[in-house]
Amino acid sequence: MTKKVALITGVTGQDGTYLAELLLEKGYIVHGIKRRSSSFNTQRIDHLYQDPHSSDPTFILHYGDLTDSMNITKIIKEVMPDEIYNLGAMSHVKVSFDSPEYTANADGLGVLRILEAVRLLGMEKKTRIYQASTSELYGLVQEIPQSETTPFYPRSPYAVAKLYGFWIVKNYREAYGMFACNGILFNHESPLRGETFVTRKITRAVTRIGMGMEKVLHLGNLDAKRDWGHAKDYVEAMWRMLQVDTPEDFVVATGVTTTVRDFLNLAFEKIGFKLDYVGEGVNEIGLLSHIDYDVAFQQLGRTKEELPKLGEVLLKVDPEYFRPTEVDILIGKPNKAFEKLGWKPKYDLNLLVEDMVTEDLKHLKKDICLVNGGFEVTAHLEY
């Protein structure tokens, strides 16, 4: 039987990595688009690397960029994919306020470039397309929980660009009968999450504070609520969306929402720490109020004397991390995905946080070995 061929844009990112793993496991030939960078940017997928000189490689990388139509068209023509997963994007909401035009180009027009390439190459009956749409489309709250029928009200250049991507997918589906669909995915995290998103920033900081390598974590809006799932579960939903008979748009979420503050509390709990919060707004601080020394020793291998002292300030609010317009609450209603895709998440928030803290502790212990061996390790906490 001939193997299915998939093309993943954004293969070097969090979701691209998990999706490539999943498709390779399923027997696909996987092509990925990576951007040219002055230094290596393939750390997440290095374990999947195959020598391009070997016979019949099943994982193949191409240089490319969603802002370059000729490049995108050329790759699609070469690869002739059965499935395209468009995961490439400038994906940081706060950064999109700094680079709005670039974001519109990559995240909005980039989607059009893929659809047009498939259409102009006459592949609209062969190639199925998944578009990485987002719960950020809901923005300013119109309805809770948010489903496929909830009106959109984007609140950032990122979300506005993704809104274009959403509608152009729907339009090409209706206009040309293409198999193209939007996964409206709510926040999903993992040990591979980029270090500047709040969950990973928290799990890295908590483990570093626990190990005595950092003193204070600075965060922005602690009251924002997000519906956090695990990326491993969510890439399975992406794949399922392209296996059904009819292309449709789906919400993918857990249906549970949590504040940034509670995510932080859960992460500290994993190393035995508890915080008390005093003050309000930008003056709010988090004080270390309790330590379960058994848990702390088990997780960190540090004794009471080596740990931070009760009453120390471990969290401060920095308005630098506030957004000009914030999305206050996201909570998804994934019933359609449950029913039509047979999809269900395996991870809840507790398992997600546990996975992230455990993996960050592993990285950190490796760094500590290097430091103890006389090597310098530079790992910034805040960018």
Binding site for ligand GDR (CB under 6 A): 91, 93-94, 134-136, 186-187, 196-199, 201, 219-221, 224, 226, 260, 321, 323, 326
Catalytic residue from among 158, 172, 234, 347: 158
CA dist 38 to 11, 41, 45, Å? 18, 9, 17
Complex with ligand GDR: residue 188 or 270, whichever CB lies closer: 188
134 assigned to active site: yes
Give the residue with the Cβ less far from ligand GDR, 264 or 296.
264
- Contact between 237 and ligand NDP per CB under 6 A: no
Q: Which of 103, 182, 187, 257 binds ligand NDP (CB under 6 A)?
A: 187
* Helix ranges, the chain (H): 14-25, 69-79, 93-98, 100-103, 110-120, 157-176, 198-210, 231-241, 260-269, 293-300, 335-336, 349-372
Clarify whether 136 is annotated catalytic: yes
Instruction: Report in angstroms the alpha-carbon separations of 19 from 24, 27, 48, 128, 348.
Output: 8, 12, 12, 16, 20
Which residue, 188, 180, 210, 154, is CA-closest to 256?
188
- CA distances 180 to 30, 33, 80, 86, 116, Å, are 19, 19, 16, 11, 12
Contact with ligand NDP (CB under 6 A): which of 5, 79, 90, 337? 90
Q: From 29-37, 47-55, 205-213, 269-277, give the range in contact with ligand NDP by CB under 6 A.
A: 29-37
Pick the catalytic residue: 136, 189, 236, 269? 136
Does residue 151 have a cis peptide bond before it, meaning omega lies within 30 degrees of 0? no
Minimum CB separation of residue 11 from ligand NDP in Å reads 6
> Quick check: 230 binds ligand NDP (CB under 6 A)?
no
Binding-residue total with ligand NDP (CB under 6 A): 26
Nearer to ligand NDP among residue 65 and residue 233 (C-beta): 65
User: 135-149 burial string, b = 16+ CB within 10 Å, else e?
Assistant: bbbbbeeeeebbbbe
Binding range to ligand NDP, per CB under 6 A, among 138-146, 185-193, 268-276, 296-304: 185-193
Give the range of 184-192, 210-218, 290-298, 359-367 binding ligand NDP by CB under 6 A.
184-192
In Å, how far from its chain's centre is CA 297? 31
In the block, which residue shows the tokens 């690397």?
A: 49
DSSP label at 236? H
57 binds, among ligand NDP, ligand GDR, none (CB under 5 to 8 A by kind): none
Of 138 and 273, the one with the shorter C-beta distance to ligand NDP is 138
Kind and range of the H or E element at 189? strand 188-189
Q: Which of 6, 45, 65, 154 binds ligand NDP (CB under 6 A)?
A: 65
Chosen from ligand NDP, ligand GDR, none, partner binding at 226 (C-beta under 5 to 8 Å by type): ligand GDR
Q: Is 67 among the residues that bind ligand NDP (CB under 6 A)?
A: yes
Q: How far is the CB of 371 from ligand NDP (least distance, A)?
A: 27
Looking at beta carbons only, is 110 or 286 nearer to ligand NDP?
110
Quote the CA–CA distance of 328 and 251 in Å, as a whole number. Answer: 18
Cα dihedral 254/258/260/261 (nearest 10): -150
Instruction: Decide which of ligand NDP, ligand GDR, none touches 321; Cβ closer than 5 to 8 Å per partner kind.
Output: ligand GDR
User: Which H/E stretch holds residue 128?
Assistant: strand 128-134
Tell whether residue 99 is a contact of ligand NDP (CB under 6 A): no
Counting contacts by CB under 6 A, is residue 35 touching ligand NDP?
yes
The Cα–Cα gap between 36 and 63 comes to: 6
- The answer to whether residues 314 and 216 touch, using CB atoms and an 8 Å cutoff, is yes
CA 23 to CA 30: how far, in whole Å? 7
Q: Which residues bind ligand NDP (CB under 6 A)?
A: 9-10, 12-16, 33, 35, 37, 41, 65-67, 87-91, 106, 132, 134, 185, 187-188, 194
Residues with catalytic roles: 134, 136, 158
